[in-house]
Amino acid sequence: MIVAIARELGAGGLAVGEAVAKQLGIPVLDKEIVDLVAQRLGAPEAYVAERDEHGESFTERVLRGIMAAYPETLAARDLPDWSEQNLVKLTETIIKERAAGESLVVIGRGAPMLLKDRHDVVRVFVTAPPAQRAANVVARMGVSHDEALKELRRSDQHRAAYFKEHYNVLDWRDPRHYDLVVNTARFGIEGAAQLIAVAAREVVRR
């Protein structure tokens, strides 16, 4: 049983995922991914965390192109490959390895797209109206309402770029990509988690 969750910033996706995991008695795979990728990449955790689920910047694209065209420049310096492409590949590998051996709730990292071909995966999108998302960001981050709105736009753009860059998904919010879309403003964290848990158990029974 795998519950793969995509979420909007401020919609409570992590809290929902943790509640689902508690109800189903299975672990959550979220921030641990950053630690595992950093270990395999040989990079500082802060470097990985900063780029986690972000699309490539123009500079990173140029650097990746140079490394692809002239791999000897990287090999000659005996430097680790810290490119965005390698980071994403490692992330995908870690998720697949964990999902192959145990039931999990996986938060973000394009998991609904990465694991879409598995019959035991419930793909979930956690959403909420912009006003509610902004209020949640204000409460969590202690920023102004305007700053919260800017952070929402920035996060949405990053996630849209990530899905497009790595999974060729043009609209990451399209409900057709998911088995279940839950609105936490309507159902709350626990209510949303209950809906997802019911869906997950139904998938296992089939």
CATH number at residue 13: 3.40.50.300
Burial of residue 58, with CB atoms counted within 10 A of its CB: 0-12 exposed, 13-18 middle, 19 or more buried:
exposed
- Residue 30's pLDDT is what? 86
Three-class DSSP category at 168: coil
**Domain with 158 in it:** 2-205
- Residue 84's pLDDT is what? 72
Render each residue's pLDDT in the chain as its tens digit; 206 residues.
Answer: 999 999 999 999 999 999 999 999 999 998 888 778 777 766 666 665 665 655 444 444 444 444 455 455 445 445 566 667 777 888 899 999 999 989 999 999 899 999 999 999 999 999 999 999 999 999 998 999 999 999 999 999 989 998 998 999 999 999 999 999 999 999 999 999 999 999 999 987 77
CA–CA distances in Å: residue 189 to residues 11, 18, 23, 44, 153: 9, 10, 12, 33, 23
What is the tally of structural domains in the chain? 1
- Residue 56's pLDDT is what? 46
User: SS3 sequence, 26-43?
Assistant: CCEECCHHHHHHHHHHCC
- Residue 199's pLDDT is what? 95
